[in-house]
Amino acid sequence: MSVMATQESHALASSSRYVLLNVAAQMTGYTVKAIERKIERGDWIEGKVWLRAPDGRILIDMIGYQRWVEGH
């Protein structure tokens, strides 16, 4: 991927409220596996930090993630 394409994908991801696990991993620094564990353990609550899309994929709510980080 070119530098320009990488910058464009980061700009798009940072402006998206809901992102797939791999994008959330890039944005947060947590691995996909660490994110999956937080969901499985219930550290991240469905409907607050993550949700399931109509196609069944898990999406991370970046606003919910930011609230979680801030302890809200």
pLDDT in tens, the chain (72 residues): 566 655 565 555 567 999 999 999 999 999 999 999 999 999 999 999 999 999 999 999 999 999 999 998
Does residue 61 contact residue 45 with C-beta atoms inside 8 Å? no
Domain ranges of the chain: 3-70
| CATH class of domain segment(s) 3-70 | mainly alpha
| pTM for the model | 0.80
Q: What per-residue confidence (pLDDT) applies to 72?
A: 83
CA dihedral 13, 16, 35, 21 (to 10 degrees): -60
Q: What per-residue confidence (pLDDT) applies to 34?
A: 98
Q: What per-residue confidence (pLDDT) applies to 12?
A: 57
